[in-house]
Each structure stands twice: as structure tokens, then as C-alpha cells.
Structure 1
Amino acid sequence: MSAPIPTRVHYHRKARELELGYGNGESHRLAVEYLRVFSPSAEVRGHGRDTATLQVGKKFVGLKDITPSGRYALKLHFDDGHDSGLFSWDYLWWLIERREANWADYLKRLEEAGASREPLGIEVKQL
């Protein structure tokens, strides 16, 4: 069975949540941080769990833009510069269904790595 296709997509900027509305009246809101740390991009996921890169410091990430990709996915443009990876309807539905388990696993991996959701600070580039 394939995932339902959203009939409405709305970004709640202040809450930093993406809302997906469906034809049956269901609506689900996903935190942008959750979407960012579970990005389907090779940069984040690698080529399997053993090669995935743990995303840290993404607590306050937001979206700059959302663009459709055909009739099957969204491309999310995060304000930290990340914009690779397509969020297919199937993948977004999987994120909705597994939100609690995924988040608990992410927090566990952060703890094991001694890392944090909090950003480290302002990045200073050398000239």
C-alpha cells in the first residue's frame, strides 16, 4: 500500500513545523528539526545505517523554501544550507508513523555520541 498524498502543505514558521493535510481531514505536523536530522539525503543517511552521519546542533533549524518535485515528493530547503534529498510521500508518511520511535532512537544516538541538539554557537570563517 502506498502512502496517502497530502492535499495541503503548510509551514508554520514560528513553531518551525511542517503541516501535511490529507483529503480525509487528517493533519500531521512534523518539527523541522526532525525532518532535518532524518533527511533522506546521502549526506545524512550515507549508504546505510553504518555510514549515516549523526546530525547535531539542529534544534533551531528552519525552512527557507519548499518546492514540489513532480507529483511524488517535496524538496525542503533548510536555513542551515542543507537542501539535498527528496522527501517522497512514502518517506514523509513513514516519518509520521514512526515519529516517536525515530525520535527516541535519535536522542539515544546523540547521548551515546556525547552530542547535543543545541547549536555550538556562531560559526566564524577564517578570511
Structure 2
Amino acid sequence: MPQPTDIKLKQTSRTLVISFDDGQTFDYSCEFLRVYSQSAEVTGHAPGQEVLQLDKQQVNIDAISPVGNYAIRLHFDDGHDSGIYTWERLYDLGEHYQNYWVDYLRRLMRAGHSHPALTQLQKESGK
């Protein structure tokens, strides 16, 4: 499993940039990380109990805390700080960022919610 070599928080652009020892570098929006938190608040306590996160476009990260040698805890400015992001999870989120992001936007759309990025998604899909 690749290990991070550098973690940079860019609060102005609301982005977390992580470089891994295999040469990969991923840019994650704070919103993306917030809506894909592994916390029970987001994932629920069992399959089917997931909670769709709404209105997180402006969320930012206030602080990052190490969790052993395997993860970080992100402290978001909306008070959420219970999700632990393992290196494996962060790498997976980075590798599949586009697919996960589109899935999130589609879930928002199906639930009847708006998001600025939905307009672009709808244009790309021809709707």
C-alpha cells in the first residue's frame, strides 16, 4: 500500500493535496472528503443507513491530526471531525475521484437536491 510523502492543506482553494511514495499525487476538494467521510454520521451503522450529505460546498478543513502511522483525522469547519481517513482509503478516493464525485452528484439529483456541479454533469450527459 502506498504511503503519503506529503500532505498539504490549501484552505484558500478548499483543497487537500496528498503525494504518495509511488509517485501519485491527488487533489481532493474539502467538500468531497466531507461527503465521503467514513464516520457513522455519513455511512450509518449498517448497510442502507447512509446519510446523503447536503450543502457542503463551502466546507473547509480547520486542522489535520495524525492517527498512528496509518491515517489522519480531518477537522472540518462545520464541526465534523469523527471520520478517520486511512492511507488506503485516501488512495482509493484519489484513484476513483471522478467516479465517486459523479456518483455523489447523481445521488443528490435523484434525491431532488441542487448543486452547482450538477449543471455541468447534466450538460455532459446530454440532459
Q: TM-score, normalised by structure 1?
A: 0.85
Partner of 2:106: 108
Using the TM superposition, give the Cα deviation of residue 22 of structure 1 relative to its aligned residue in structure 2, in angstroms.
2.1
2:15 aligned residue: 17
Give TM-score, length-normalised by structure 2: 0.85
1:62 aligns with one of 60, 63, 67: 60
1:90 alignment partner, SS class:
helix
The runs of at least 4 aligned residues of structure 1 exceeding 3 Å deviation read: none
Q: Which has the higher helix share?
A: 2
Question: Aligned residue pairs: how many?
Answer: 116
CA distance in 1, matches of 2:92, 2:42: 17
User: Which structure exhibits the higher relative contact order, with contacts defined as CA atoms closer than 8 Å and separated by 6 or more residues?
Assistant: 1
Deviations 1:9-67 (A, max 9, x none): 11011111101012344321111100000001011011345110000000010001000
3-state DSSP of counterpart to 2:93: helix
Give the RMSD, CA atoms, in angstroms. Answer: 1.4
Where do 5+ consecutive residues of structure 1 fail to align?
119-127
Structure 2, unaligned runs of 5 or more:
117-127
Q: Which residue of 2 aligns with 1:93?
A: 91
Match of 2:50 in 1: 52
2:29 is matched with: 31
